[in-house]
Amino acid sequence: MPKHEQLAGLRGWPQLVVATPGRLNDFRENQPTFCDLRGVRFLVLDEADRMLDEGFEPQIRKIVFSSSALQRQTMLFSATWPPAMQKLADDFLRDPLQIRVGSVDQLRANASILQDVQFCADLAGAKTRELVKLLKSRPRARTLVFVATKDGCHELSRQVRGTVPGRCETLHGGLHQERREAALEAFRSGAARVLFATDVAGRGIDVPGIDLVINYDPPRSREDYVHRIGRTGRAGATGQAVSLLTHIRDGDAMKFIAEVMEETGVPVPADLAHRL
């Protein structure tokens, strides 16, 4: 949404504002008449661990300290609980009630997900050819493909579209909201079989019946890996996750993928084990 449209919305004194930290601070500093946070009664920090990973801690702190109402209630949601998150909670929350769902000390993968890796030659087009082969081998599987960047997401979808069974859609932060919603609805309804997504767009995807998750580009961390593959194998169903790796570039990913496999009782493929 263009910035001037967002400002027009703030001028209407809304009761609820959903914002990214950077844009909210922009309005708070440059349009203080229409973005005064001193009267905020409820402050929700969703995906707080992700915002920390993306380097938004300074912006978050500015927002919290600007929301100075004495009766403010602050709610912080996080999928992981590393020391940085604990420090943030200590600074922002007063006598908090902590609700844990599952294990938060160590994020674990779902044991019902079959995890696998495939090694690709470090040559132009090799990984894309492996992806096409994989998608063709399971022509009916509803598949989520994770790509590192929005440009890469768009380009990979363009290359693959028409070469594999089923319709392909893309989901990344460079798309307008209406386009993102249309792509997600097509995937959810089954009209699209393959969805190419970035981490930022894909983290909140909750679509029943995803059969296969493919990490075309490896995740940056163990937490991202667990979040990605967790899009499948939900509600008692089984699922499969395949990571496409190159031996030269993906050493860190190899290590944490093998660790997650071992912790969930999934045999580490021999092809991966001998490279560690």
- For 180, the token pair is 């993102």
- For 108, the token pair is 């674990």
Strands (E) located in 141-246: 143-146, 168-171, 194-197, 212-215, 239-245
Work out the end-to-end distance of the chain between its first and last CA atoms, rounded to an integer number of angstroms.
Answer: 46
Q: What is the pLDDT of residue 124?
A: 79
Q: pLDDT 10s digit of each residue in the chain, 276 long?
A: 789 999 999 999 999 999 999 999 999 999 999 999 999 999 999 988 878 777 888 999 999 999 988 889 999 988 777 788 888 889 888 888 888 876 555 667 888 999 999 999 988 799 999 999 999 999 999 999 999 999 999 999 999 999 999 999 999 888 888 898 899 999 999 999 999 999 876 666 778 899 999 999 999 888 889 989 999 998 788 999 999 999 888 999 999 999 999 999 999 999 999 888
CA gap 221, 252 in Å, rounded: 8
Q: What is the pLDDT of residue 276?
A: 85
Domains of the chain: 3-92 (3.40.50.300), 113-273 (3.40.50.300)
Q: What is the pLDDT of residue 98?
A: 87
Q: How many CA atoms lie within 13 A of 171 on its CB side?
A: 26
Q: What is the pLDDT of residue 102?
A: 62
- For 189, the token pair is 């309804």
Q: Which one-letter amino acid corresponds to residue 131?
A: L
Q: Give the CA distances from residue 202 to residues 96, 163, 173, 205, 234, in Å, rounded to whole numbers and listed in that order.
A: 30, 23, 10, 5, 15
Query: For residue 47, which of 72, 73, 76 has the smallest C-alpha distance?
Result: 76
Q: Are 150 and 217 in contact (CB under 8 A)?
A: no
Q: Give the CA distances from residue 46 to residues 21, 43, 224, in Å, rounded to whole numbers and listed in that order.
A: 11, 10, 16
Query: pTM of this prediction?
Result: 0.75
| DSSP 8-state secondary structure symbol assigned to residue 247 | T
